[in-house]
């Protein structure tokens, strides 16, 4: 009498982890199958997927193959999160034989924009709450960082490089906290994703004036300066003491330079060729929807410098009387040429420590040579150092 051996599993079903969107294959190995059949089922869904070579489920992503030996393969394409769970391979013996394998489906993180914060605008001193919700499998962790890698101010005196959690709360926010914040979601399944939330902090303009009293000689150029901070960006302009706004003209040139951070602005007013009417009070004014501020600068007359002036503060004008054209010099693109007449040229030989001395007057003290003090005046009396045998005085 022949004894028919019962079918047996020859190997366990391997647990498999697969990212969503990929394909997966589960193997069930059986010996002595005979006339019995092998079926695949999704245990959590109580669904029969395949029996022998036939697909029972209506899911088009499921198929079954047999290697003509002992293994029956369950194929799932475009794996989805709902495909996770226990898969059962069953042999239809009198007492059914079963074994299980587990399919882990991992899903990269995604940020739910509808449940997360968008860009916010708040007033300085207010509290701010930012929220970031993300899905994925495993459940993602959320971290907050500033886009420029500066510290996050949670409360006064409490700053951190990054903050973990779906909710970021900041108390009494200031202009220093303005900028972009990154919500970063990760769960070990690439790619990591992030969302950028811009926080704008509104405050009224503030002014800082480095020099409230500025002196400059007649016929010089001078630059007045103000520094402003404001958000939203302020309207910046200059006025005279009578309230009249100053406009761009051959007399005035205005320049506004955006600083860093962008809520800072450097205001400059260039006044060319100062005349008596230009002396007095000037105002720099900054206005935005949150308020306005102004600062006062008084321009007064001063004597021409006897040392090299700051080229940014005052630019000396050309001499009131054109000099002679013997020795050329240039000053900021405008040529002025001057020299004193040679004294008794060729008639006398200079003694040691004596001889002729030349004054090169080109509208800038740094070009004055010969030890003669540079000053602007209507009459200039210059005495050269000469041998005791002769003395010449030049009168302009």
pTM of this prediction exceeds 0.75: no
C-beta separation of 251 from 272 below 8 A: yes
In a domain, 306, yes or no: no
228 and 155 co-located in one domain: no
Residues 384 and 330 in one domain: yes
Residue at 3 is within a domain: no
Count structural domains, the chain: 4
- Cβ atoms of residues 113 and 195 within 8 Å: yes
Domain-embedded: residue 309: no
State the Cα–Cα distance between residues 152 and 159, nearest whole angstrom. 5
Q: From the CA atom positions of the chain, what is the Rg in Å?
A: 44
Please enumerate in sequence order all residues whose Cβ is within 8 A of that of 58, keeping only pairs 6 or more positions apart, or say none.
Answer: none
**Closest listed residue to residue 215, CA positions, set 284, 294, 297:** 297
pLDDT (0 to 100) of residue 5? 83
Looking at 203, 227, 243, which one is the last position of a domain? 203
Residue 178 CB neighbours (<10 A): 20
Does residue 142 share a domain with residue 97?
Answer: no
Dist CA 135 CA 59 (whole Å): 25
Cα 116-117-118 angle, rounded to 5 deg: 120
Alpha carbons 296 and 31: distance in angstroms, whole number: 98
Q: Are residues 85 and 116 in the same domain?
A: no
The string over 87-118, giving b where at least 16 C-beta atoms fall within 10 Å of a residue's C-beta and e elsewhere, is bbbbbeeeeebebebebebbbbbebeeeebbe
Closest Cα partner for 198 from 125, 153, 162, 148? 148
Q: What per-residue confidence (pLDDT) applies to 213?
A: 97
Separation between Cα atoms, residue 63 and residue 25, nearest integer Å: 10
331/241 same-domain check = no
Residue 330 lies inside a defined structural domain of this protein? yes
In a shared domain, residues 16 and 99: yes
Residues 240 and 264 in one domain: yes
d(CA 161, CA 146): 8
Compute φ and ψ for 365, nearest 5 degrees: -60, -25
Task: Report the relative pairing of strands 213-216 and 291-301 from DSSP bridges.
Answer: parallel
Same domain, 116 and 188: yes
The answer to whether residue 154 sits within a structural domain is: yes
Task: Say yes or no: 230 and 258 in one domain.
Answer: yes
Q: What is the H or E stretch that residue 60 is in?
A: none
The pLDDT score that the predictor gives to residue 69 is 77
Q: Which of 319, 312, 321, 302 is nearest to 365 (CA)?
A: 319
Q: Which domain holds residue 45?
A: 8-106
- Asked whether 107 and 80 are in contact (CB, 8 A), the reply is no
> Do residues 59 and 79 make contact, with C-beta atoms less than 8 angstroms apart?
no
Residue of 79, 74, 98 whose CA lies nearest to 7:
98
Does 328 map to a domain? Answer: yes
Q: What is d(CA 299, CA 241) in angstroms, rounded to the nearest whole number?
A: 11
Burial 231-259 (b: 16+ CB within 10 A, else e): beebebbbeeeeeeebeeeeeeebeeeee
Residue where one domain finishes, among candidates 106, 132, 156:
106
What token pair was written down for 233?
């960006």
DSSP 245: B
Please report the pLDDT score of residue 355 as a whole number.
34
Domain boundary at 203, 228, 261, which? 203
Supply the CATH number for residue 225's domain: 2.60.40.10
Structural domain contains residue 2:
no
How far, in Å, CA of 85 to CA of 42, rounded?
7
- Does residue 290 sit in the same domain as residue 369? no
Same domain, 49 and 99: yes
Look at residue 228 and tell me if it is in a domain: yes
Q: What is the pLDDT of residue 297?
A: 98
Task: Check whether residue 149 and residue 213 sit in a common domain.
Answer: no
Residues 27, 13: Cα–Cα separation, whole Å: 6
User: What does pLDDT average to in each consecutive run of 10 residues of the chain (396 residues)?
Assistant: 80 95 96 93 95 95 91 96 96 94 96 97 97 96 96 94 97 96 96 97 97 96 98 97 94 96 96 97 97 97 75 45 34 31 35 33 32 32 35 33
């Amino acid at each position: 009498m022949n004894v028919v051996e019962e079918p047996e599993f020859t190997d366990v079903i391997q647990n498999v982890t697969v990212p969503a969107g990929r394909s997966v294959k589960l193997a069930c190995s059986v010996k002595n199958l005979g006339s019995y059949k092998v079926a695949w089922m999704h245990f959590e869904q109580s669904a029969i997927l395949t029996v022998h070579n036939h697909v029972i489920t209506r899911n088009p992503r499921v198929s079954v193959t047999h290697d003509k030996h002992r293994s029956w393969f369950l194929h799932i394409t475009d794996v989805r999160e709902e495909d996770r769970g226990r898969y059962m391979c069953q042999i239809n013996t009198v007492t059914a034989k079963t074994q299980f394998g587990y399919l882990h489906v991992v899903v990269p993180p995604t940020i739910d924009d509808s449940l997360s914060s968008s860009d916010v605008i708040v007033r300085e001193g207010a509290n701010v709450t930012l929220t970031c919700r993300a899905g994925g499998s495993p459940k993602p962790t959320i971290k907050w960082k500033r886009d420029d890698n500066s510290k996050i101010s949670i409360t006064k005196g409490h700053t951190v490089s990054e903050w973990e959690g779906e909710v970021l709360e900041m108390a009494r926010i200031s202009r220093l906290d303005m900028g972009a914040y990154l919500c970063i979601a990760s769960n070990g399944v690439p790619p990591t994703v992030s969302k950028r939330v811009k926080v704008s902090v509104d405050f009224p303009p503030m002014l800082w004036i480095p020099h409230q009293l500025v002196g400059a000689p007649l016929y010089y150029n001078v630059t007045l300066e103000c520094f402003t901070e404001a958000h939203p960006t302020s309207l910046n302009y200059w006025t005279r003491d009578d309230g009249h706004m100053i406009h761009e003209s051959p007399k005035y040139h205005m320049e506004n330079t955006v600083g860093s951070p962008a809520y800072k602005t450097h205001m400059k007013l260039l006044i060319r060729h100062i005349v008596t009417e230009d002396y007095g009070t000037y105002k720099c004014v900054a206005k935005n929807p949150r308020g306005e501020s102004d600062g006062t600068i008084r321009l007064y007359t001063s004597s021409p410098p006897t040392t090299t002036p700051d080229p940014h503060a005052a630019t000396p004008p050309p001499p009131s009387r054109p000099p002679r054209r013997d020795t050329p010099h240039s000053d900021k693109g405008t040529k002025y040429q001057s020299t004193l007449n040679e004294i008794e040229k060729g008639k006398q030989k200079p003694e040691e420590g004596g001889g002729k001395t030349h004054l090169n007057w080109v509208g800038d003290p740094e070009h004055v040579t010969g030890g003669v003090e540079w000053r602007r005046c209507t009459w200039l009396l210059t005495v050269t150092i000469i041998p005791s045998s002769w003395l010449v005085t030049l009168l302009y």
